[in-house]
């Protein structure tokens, strides 16, 4: 049995597509997308987002899924089989996913802490200014009952709570500068959940409850990954469907809140279309599509590598794109309804309600729910949804690194449980930095820069490798060996190997990837020390550059290592840019699948740039680990 034969396989097509939806549709749909729309003209942002998602995002997503399915291997080795010089693309993707996994499970841990507070009946704590962790700046108008009792039960007065006392003059509390007052939900998040220090320079000790929550999140992740793709598929039946049910419930409740129309006006009915003329709006939309669809992270490529070779990944890529867009747009409607409700309740402009993405999920939503009947119910549904979205995406992020190790080092595959535990443990240890008093500052750096310009550069290099070094004509034949030839004029244009897909892959997508890479790199260079509502010391810039460029460093390192080993074996530079013999033979695949109309060239001549039989043997082991057993069949 070869290394590929014992990789495992999905129980069913449904479980695979649900696992992919669970991986792609995540926390970014609930807070990153609404925040981008919030900052870029409201509903006007839907135009560039949906265009980028379906015109460019879908074809690139399909490319990655088909690569994994055809080669039956993860990102660590699939690019080596196409050209050893580009193997670092896969390892760069694995490192990017690992960096994201570090902070992603921290968010899952936060949701566990909120859920624990809800099930233990302490939802009042994020709506009250009378907790031990509250400061004198805590201001709230939710202390009606206690204030009414102190003023003789006169409910006609305008009551507020500030600096530990009740007052009847709302003019004073509204006259305070925003920097002088904080909401109880903000203090609950900052002082209780995070135990945040005033600045990043003050390290602070470990937050024990955050550490415990993070450990639970990683234990759940590891247990699922140890069971393999079959268990991930079964769990996806729950994790990929329940969030849609919950968001529908929250949507109905949100649009019926007083003031919801204010948010809906901003989001849908009265958007600022002038923002469409701003190139930054399109840049942010295109960048978010990569985050949202998980393009360039290697996760969907890894998950697809466990498919049957004739699985219809083109259809699945379209379903994932639609599911992702639906959650963003539909979830955004619920979010903006809540923002409108909060703006009306607090008597402020909708632009002044929220500070950042984390503030939206962990400050504004809890505050809003405490102003609704049955606050514990809505809070439970919301945080349960966040937990499910987060943990299902985490499965895919962690699986990328594990799959990379199995494929790069085939002898390790029998020790899968050990590899999962090691990866989970070291990523958990890295996440402890985010569980300190200054952890939120490191969290923001990870959130903003762990998938920065390097992500776009890797996507661009991936497209160049497949379309121009391996050549589009060859890859189109590979796809047709799996999915068959076009059956009519429509599929010749828009089908799995149609002209539209080729045009996007060869021209539009590479131009977009490299252009956005340049813009994002410029933003990293010119970024100041204040963003996401926090101030950062000058030395944090070094962390920014490490997070932003680590994937590129890995790409260069792996390519250089392969070049060194190739030259040491006496092979020329040309061999680093040639297809390797362990790239699947499309003729064999076609015959096994019974694909019709496949009259492809035989032998080594089937690729215009393939390694010749004479050159092939010396560098079969060009990959920088021992793959001899994998290549014996050749």
Annotated binding site for Na(+): 22, 25, 29, 292, 389, 393
Burial classification of residue 554, based on how many CB atoms lie within 10 Å of its CB (0-12 exposed, 13-18 middle, 19 or more buried): buried
Rounded CA gap, 317 and 62, in Å? Answer: 5
Residue 157, Cβ density class (10 Å: 0-12 exposed, 13-18 middle, ≥19 buried): middle
Sequential DSSP letters for 13-44: HHHHHHHHHHHHSSHIIIIIHHHHHHHTTGGG
Q: Could you count the other beta carbons within 10 Å of the beta carbon of residue 521?
A: 17
Three-state secondary structure readout of 315-381: HHHHHHHHHHHHHHHHHHHHHHHHHHHHHHHHCCCHHHCCCCHHHHHHHHHHHHHCCCCCHHHHHHH
Q: Which residues in 3-32 are b (16+ Cβ under 10 Å) and which e? A: bbeebebbeeeebbbbbbbbbbbbbbbbbb
Annotated binding-site residues read 22, 25, 29, 292, 389, 393
The pairing of beta strand 139-140 with beta strand 160-162: antiparallel
Q: What is the dihedral of CA 312, 313, 315, 321, to 10 degrees?
A: 170
Residues in contact with 571: Cβ distance below 8 Å, sequence separation at least 6, in sequence order: 615, 618, 619, 622
Q: CA-to-CA distance for 158 and 504, rounded, in angstroms? A: 60
Q: Which of 33, 4, 20 is nearest to 315 (CA)?
A: 20
Residue with tokens 């204010």, as numbered in its chain:
262
């Amino acid at each position: 049995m070869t290394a590929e034969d014992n990789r495992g396989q999905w129980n069913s097509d449904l479980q695979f597509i649900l696992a992919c939806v669970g991986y792609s549709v995540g926390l970014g749909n609930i807070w990153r997308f609404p925040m981008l729309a919030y900052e870029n003209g409201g509903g006007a942002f839907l135009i560039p987002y949906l265009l980028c998602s379906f015109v460019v995002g879908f074809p690139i997503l399909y490319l990655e899924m088909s690569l994994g399915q055809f080669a039956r291997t993860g990102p660590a080795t699939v690019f080596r089989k196409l050209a050893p010089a580009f193997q670092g693309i896969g390892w760069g993707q694995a490192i990017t996913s690992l960096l994201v996994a570090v902070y992603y499970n921290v968010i899952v841990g936060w949701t566990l802490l909120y859920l624990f507070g809800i099930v233990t009946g302490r939802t009042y704590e994020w709506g009250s200014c009378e907790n031990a962790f509250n400061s004198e700046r805590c201001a709230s108008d939710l202390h009606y009952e206690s204030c009414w009792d102190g003023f003789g039960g006169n409910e006609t007065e305008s009551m507020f709570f500030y600096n530990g006392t009740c007052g009847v003059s709302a003019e004073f509390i509204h006259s305070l500068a925003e920097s002088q007052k904080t909401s109880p939900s903000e203090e609950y998040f900052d002082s209780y959940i995070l135990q945040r220090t005033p600045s990043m320079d003050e390290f602070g000790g470990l937050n024990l409850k955050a550490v415990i929550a993070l450990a639970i999140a990683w234990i759940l992740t590891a247990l699922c990954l140890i069971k393999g793709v079959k268990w991930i598929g079964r769990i996806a039946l729950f994790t990929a469907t329940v969030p849609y049910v919950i968001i529908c419930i929250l949507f109905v409740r949100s649009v019926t809140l007083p003031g919801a129309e204010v948010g809906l006006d901003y989001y849908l009915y009265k958007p600022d279309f002038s923002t469409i003329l701003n190139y930054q709006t399109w840049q942010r939309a295109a960048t978010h599509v990569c985050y949202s669809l998980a393009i360039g992270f290697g996760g969907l490529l890894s998950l697809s590598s466990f498919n049957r070779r004739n699985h219809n990944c083109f259809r699945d890529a379209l379903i994932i794109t639609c599911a992702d867009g639906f959650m963003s747009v539909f979830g955004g409607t619920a979010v903006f309804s809540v923002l409108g409700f909060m703006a009306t309740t607090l008597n402020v402009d909708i632009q002044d309600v929220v500070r950042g993405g984390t503030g939206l999920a962990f400050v504004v939503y809890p505050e809003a729910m405490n102003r609704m009947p049955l606050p514990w119910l809505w809070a439970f549904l919301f945080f349960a949804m966040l937990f499910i979205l987060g943990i299902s995406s985490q499965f895919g992020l962690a699986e990328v690194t594990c799959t990379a190790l199995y494929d790069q080092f085939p002898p390790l595959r029998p020790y899968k449980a050990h590899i999962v535990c090691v990866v989970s443990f070291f990523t958990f240890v890295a996440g402890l930095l985010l569980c300190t008093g200054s952890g939120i500052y490191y969290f923001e750096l990870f959130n903003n820069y762990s998938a920065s310009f390097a992500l776009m550069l890797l996507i661009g290099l991936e497209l160049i490798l497949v379309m121009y070094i391996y050549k589009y004509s060859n890859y189109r034949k590979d796809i047709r060996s799996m999915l068959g030839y076009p059956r009519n004029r429509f599929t010749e244009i828009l089908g799995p190997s149609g002209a539209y897909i080729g045009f996007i892959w060869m021209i539009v997508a590479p131009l977009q990837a490299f252009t956005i890479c340049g813009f994002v790199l410029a933003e990293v260079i010119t970024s100041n020390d204040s963003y996401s509502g926090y101030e950062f010391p000058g030395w944090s810039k070094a962390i920014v550059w490490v997070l932003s460029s680590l994937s590129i460093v890995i790409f260069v390192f792996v390519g250089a290592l392969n070049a060194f080993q190739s030259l040491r074996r006496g092979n020329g530079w040309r061999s680093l840019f040639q297809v390797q013999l362990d790239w699947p033979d499309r003729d064999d695949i076609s015959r096994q699948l019974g694909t019709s109309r496949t009259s492809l060239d035989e032998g080594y001549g089937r690729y215009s740039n393939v390694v010749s039989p004479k050159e092939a043997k010396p560098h079969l082991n060009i990959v920088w680990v021992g793959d001899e057993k994998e290549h014996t069949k050749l």
